[in-house]
Amino acid sequence: MADLQPLYAALGSTLSADPTTRMQAELEVKRLEKLPGYVPSALQIAVSEQDQSLRMAAAVAFKNKVRGGWFDQIPDADKEVVRQQMVAAIVQASQSIRAQFVTALHFMLNHDFPEKWPAFIDQVGQYLQHTADMNAVYGGLLAMQEVVKIFQYRGRKERGPLNAIVKSVFPYLLQIGTELVQHDHTEAAMMVKVIARTYFASIQSDLSKSHMDPTNLTGWCHFFSSIIAKVVPDAIYGANADADDKAAHPWWKAKKWAFNIFNTLFSRYGNSKSENFREDKKYKPFSQLFMANFVPTLLRSYLALTEQSIQTGAFVSPRVKYLMANFYSDALLNKATWAILKPYAQQLVEHFILPELSISEEDRELWEDDPTEYVHRKVDPMDDFKSPGAGCASLLTSLATNRNNATFAGIVQFIHQVMLAHAAAPTPATLVAKEGALRMLGLLANQCLSKKSPVHAQMEEFLVSFVFPEFASPVKYMRARALDTVAAFADVEYSQPQHALTAFHAAIAALGEGEDLPLRVEAALALKPMIHTPHVRNAMAPHIAAIMKSMLDLQNTIDLDVLSTVMEEFVEEFSAEVAPFAVELATQLGATFVRIMADAQESFEAGYDETNIQDMDFDAATDKTMAAMGVIKTMQTLVLSVHENQEIVLQLENAMLPSLIYVLDHEIIDLYPDVFELIDTCTFSLKAVSPTMWSMFERLHKIAQSEAADYVCEMGAALENYISYGKREFATTPQLQQAMVDMINLCLTNTDLGEADRVVGCGLMHNMLMYLRGTSSIDHLVPHFLDLAMHHIGTGAIKTTAFLIAAIEVGITALYYDPALTLRVLEEKGMTAAFFTAWIGNVGKMARVHDKKLGVITLCTVLSAVPAEHLPAVVVQGLPQLFGALVNYLSTLPKAEANRAEQEKFFTGIDEIPEEELERLNNADLDTAEAAGDDAEEVVEGDDEDGDGWEDEEEDLGLHHLAGQAARARADLGGDEWADDDEDWSDDEDLDEEFNLETPLDDVDPYVTFAATFTALQASSPAVYQQLTAGATAEHQNVVMQAIAKASENQAKAAAKAAAGSA
């Protein structure tokens, strides 16, 4: 672009106040950006133009084009020009323009470095060496940070260029940083922050040899320690700086990154007891060196900073407090660092943890001034997960859980002292301390209620004495904390039922419309666990309509997804009470949903800035989307709660329809899975497809052909229901058949989808063949279905058992649908041998009950429905193998049925695990831990003094027991003699049973079918019978006799049941 004037003019006009002029200018920029030379020209204007507004417009245009088209839309010659000028442009630019350039640089490096930009490091290096020009150094540091960031999450094999940078360039960064940290000015802080952040990015996923070199490590640790220890003079912050101003200052941001680095080195590469530790022998020497020579000093410096903050009130930023708490949490897991930390544990509880868990003055002001923001900050864990309070909460629970013998008694004694101190001489300060102490107590509820806990028997008295009085407190936040505490201790077995009812009535009172929003939310959350206390549940029942109304009012006041979970629980537990106003409730939920989503769209549009998408705040829209998701879940629970009343379900569908249409028509893809699940629930509950749901099928087909291809897995269950419960419409409507075939083709042929999606497509073919059997309505589709399935079987590229079996069972179901037609098609396409080879070779992998029933019934159908003279030669030759498959199915079916029943009991919670069994499992686990010796040290049993002691995690043991039973059940399903032992097969997992699967085969007895077929074949086709059983062993004959006996038994039971019914 030799002439810059057109671009100057177009960019200048984009700043016009006249919308028409601005729109025309934007279109002109779009036209110009397609011309060669556009990108270098935009960069030139952004660097050299005097008008700041025009420079920014050019910088944004440059960044957007680079971000959207660097890979394939910009001529190579233009790219080379930009690569030559980019680093210099960053150095010369003002701060606002520089931010645009740095973003563009990241995209360029991601595509070009190092292959197409080998000179980049040298280009940056010349500015890093200009130590007299701080602006040049700063620009060079920013450029270096970007090249390191592109490697921060890459695997070890891709980190060669980064390792070279760490070896050759990082020594210069250390030298620059060591000099800069001695200065106080803000410019030095900004550069130190960039250096620290660059180092942090380099250690995110791996440590190079240079990182682990003792000399290098010592230098860097000294540098980061000096950042942490640096005292920032008040004058640096500026006049009237408050805590937020200080936390936002570059020096505290630099400190944050220094703490982040030490925490990462400690938890990820040093402390083998941390849950984040990387198990890699490569890091073992580093771990030993770091833990022995650096961590003790680091831990003591953290403790000194904490003590200084406690004693003098010295400022520490909230993020640094969070990082210090995390460091302590990891340190207490290791025996050596726990020895250092242990003497300070009680001091940390009383002076570090309690203040951070207590309601602050800022919190109280927020409660009054912006209660909605208060609730989001305090109730939504994602809004609070990197706060000092979150870090201290984690530290407290880790102390009480992992070092309970050394800390638990002191913690609960301290909490009790806080309660007594406030009772004796109440002041605003003691009230705040009590609020924080109750929060601490709530976090330790599991430990307190353990049957081995020393305070287990005292909790009812404690709650009644110190918590219940706060239900009547004039201080609203104390009422909220009291409700939160009783909710945490919902499992307390009150000796007097009236105590539980007192808590319930307090929650109902706090839920009232006139109360403060945070208190109402806390009351709603407190009611949820109370449902499971029988006498409280009985007291709740008459109030369900009022409670649900209050919940909806709350949901319309604040978008909070946890409120939806509370409503779900009430709908599920009080289905009889909810039924009379279920339709009204669904209508209100629908109105709430549409309002939330409209607000979400408005929040997104209000914050949308196409020139700076990376810096946009999506939190408001995300919170609303999560809340809307919860509303849909509540709708689903509502349908399930009244599923026995079809009239109500039909009315619910109509009430919910606007919400479903809104999601699909507005293409809110985040909610697609929830909508599909709701459609599945409605059709499954009715066992029919209503006109309302048929109208949704058209939309599903439409979006499946466009942007929803990625969600085909989630759509699968709903689509199967359309076939299962709408078979009459599918049998008579070619348009419906074709729509379903379109979606099947998508699943089986779209190269962007995976094998899970292929399984869904096979399931749809399976359902069409199964449910439309006998109608001849899809005879024309059988060849296409076989082509789709056999294509994948024939390539040998299938990697999972699920897809392999699903593809084979398309052919098996086609045989069941019409054996003569399917055999003819297989013969015409030359697929017969390949299909039967795949089938017989994988019988052992067909472990589910449905697989075995389908196999037996289909084989019997083929043998009884197709005359011997019409059987393909390859099938006749393989009759002994088909008999072997039949015998295998029959012999393993009883065990599969038993295993399914056992799994269903455990996975649906039918059986409770006896307490004595839990105790036995607990002891067994502890014995195992002791037998493990050094591998089970420290945290579970530790040293004699600080072992796990009385900790009793009954719930976890129950889950372990269920998991163990499930694993054993799955193991029992496989391993028979017919299993395919192909050594190249990468997935040897047995398929999970589908407990809710319903098919036309449910009413077909495979034993009766086999007995009838076997007997008829023996009488009518002795030649086929003889060839079929040729080579049968005595074991095979025994299986046949048992199956025939089982058939007689089942027929007798059925006859007796029928006779009893008629009587």
| C-alpha to C-alpha distance for 958 and 944, rounded to whole angstroms | 27
What pLDDT was estimated at residue 619? 54
Which tens digit of pLDDT belongs to each residue from 688-746?
999 999 999 999 998 888 766 778 888 999 999 999 999 999 999 999 999 999 999 99
Which tens digit of pLDDT belongs to each residue from 664-682?
998 888 899 999 999 999 9
Residue 986 above 50 pLDDT? no
User: What mean pLDDT comes out for the span 630-639?
Assistant: 92
Phi first, then psi: what are they for 715, rounded to 5°? -80, -20
| C-alpha to C-alpha distance for 7 and 968, rounded to whole angstroms | 71
Q: Is the dihedral of CA 10, 14, 20, 23 positive or negative?
A: positive
29: tokens are 């920029």
Q: State the first-to-last Cα distance of the chain, in angstroms, to the nearest integer.
A: 95
Q: Is the dihedral of CA 684, 686, 687, 691 positive or negative?
A: negative
| C-alpha to C-alpha distance for 436 and 429, rounded to whole angstroms | 11
Place of tokens 């000028």: 85
8 Å CB contact between 548 and 511:
no
Nearest partner of 911 among 921, 901, 926, 898, judged by Cα: 901
8 Å CB contact between 611 and 64:
yes
Place of tokens 């209508």: 587
What pLDDT was estimated at residue 667? 86
What pLDDT was estimated at residue 559? 84
| C-alpha to C-alpha distance for 1001 and 979, rounded to whole angstroms | 24
**Residue 840, C-beta contacts closer than 8 angstroms, at least 6 positions apart:** 878, 881, 882, 884, 885
- Residue 377 pLDDT grade (very low, low, confident, very high; cuts 50, 70, 90): confident
Region of poorest pLDDT, from 201-205, 493-497, 727-731, 1058-1062: 1058-1062
| C-alpha to C-alpha distance for 712 and 307, rounded to whole angstroms | 56
Top-confidence residue, 926 or 115: 115
8 Å CB contact between 440 and 353:
yes
**DSSP assigned state of 350:** I
**Residue 628, C-beta contacts closer than 8 angstroms, at least 6 positions apart:** 559, 593, 596, 597, 600, 671
What pLDDT was estimated at residue 110? 94
What pLDDT was estimated at residue 262? 98
Which tens digit of pLDDT belongs to each residue from 171-193?
999 999 999 999 999 999 999 99
267: tokens are 């938890």
3-state secondary structure of 216: helix
> Strand (E) positions, 94-137?
none
412-415, long-range: CB < 8 A, 24+ apart: 412/441, 412/444, 412/448, 412/455, 414/346, 414/349, 414/350, 415/440, 415/441
8 Å CB contact between 906 and 864:
no
**Residue 15, C-beta contacts closer than 8 angstroms, at least 6 positions apart:** 22, 53, 54, 57
What pLDDT was estimated at residue 550? 93
8 Å CB contact between 641 and 575:
yes
User: What mean pLDDT comes out for the span 627-651?
Assistant: 92
**DSSP assigned state of 267:** I
**Residue 619, C-beta contacts closer than 8 angstroms, at least 6 positions apart:** 383
| C-alpha to C-alpha distance for 566 and 561, rounded to whole angstroms | 9
- Cα Rg, the chain, nearest whole Å: 35
**Residue 6, C-beta contacts closer than 8 angstroms, at least 6 positions apart:** 28, 32
What pLDDT was estimated at residue 2? 60
Region of poorest pLDDT, from 198-202, 476-480, 512-516, 712-716: 712-716
What pLDDT was estimated at residue 752? 85
**Residue 93, C-beta contacts closer than 8 angstroms, at least 6 positions apart:** 46, 47, 59, 101, 139
Which tens digit of pLDDT belongs to each residue from 2-33?
678 889 899 999 999 999 999 999 999 999 99
Phi first, then psi: what are they for 905, rounded to 5°? -60, -50
Nearest partner of 523 among 638, 377, 514, judged by Cα: 514
Place of tokens 């299986």: 1039
8 Å CB contact between 972 and 897:
no
3-state secondary structure of 105: helix
| C-alpha to C-alpha distance for 548 and 140, rounded to whole angstroms | 60
| C-alpha to C-alpha distance for 633 and 625, rounded to whole angstroms | 12
Residue 954 above 60 pLDDT? no
Which tens digit of pLDDT belongs to each residue from 262-291?
999 999 999 999 888 988 999 999 999 999
- Residue 768 pLDDT grade (very low, low, confident, very high; cuts 50, 70, 90): very high
C-alpha dihedral, 497 to 503 to 508 to 510, nearest 10°: 170
For helices 170-180 and 120-128, angle between their N-to-C axes, nearest 10 degrees: 20
Q: What's the burial of 634, exposed, middle or buried (CB within 10 Å: 0-12/13-18/19+)?
A: buried
Instruction: Find the helix or strand (DSSP H, E) in which 226 lies.
Output: helix 214-229
- Residue 561 pLDDT grade (very low, low, confident, very high; cuts 50, 70, 90): confident
- Could you tell me the maximum CA-CA distance found in the chain, to the nearest angstrom? 105
705 vs 110, 668, 752, 884, 928, CA distance in Å?
32, 16, 13, 43, 54
What pLDDT was estimated at residue 972? 35
Region of poorest pLDDT, from 369-383, 497-511, 599-613, 824-838: 599-613
Q: What's the burial of 99, exposed, middle or buried (CB within 10 Å: 0-12/13-18/19+)?
A: middle
- Residue 907 pLDDT grade (very low, low, confident, very high; cuts 50, 70, 90): low
1040 vs 845, 1028, 1043, CA distance in Å?
21, 13, 5
Nearest partner of 71 among 105, 111, 118, judged by Cα: 111
Nearest partner of 131 among 177, 167, 84, judged by Cα: 177
User: What mean pLDDT comes out for the span 634-655?
Assistant: 94
What is the phi-psi region of residue 433: left when phi exceeds 0, alpha when psi lies from -120 to 50, beta otherwise? alpha
Phi first, then psi: what are they for 867, rounded to 5°? -60, 150
Could you tell me what percent of the chain has a pLDDT over 70? 89
Degrees (nearest 5) of the Cα angle 767, 768, 773?
105
Q: Is the dihedral of CA 498, 502, 507, 512 positive or negative?
A: positive
> Strand (E) positions, 442-581?
none
- Residue 925 pLDDT grade (very low, low, confident, very high; cuts 50, 70, 90): very low
Query: What is the residue-averaged pLDDT of the chain?
Result: 88
Q: Is the peptide bond before 355 cis (omega within 30 degrees of 0)?
A: no
Per-residue H/E/C for 176-212: HHHHHCCCCCHHHHHHHHHHHHHHHHHCCCCCCHHHH
8 Å CB contact between 181 and 223:
yes
1035: tokens are 């074991």
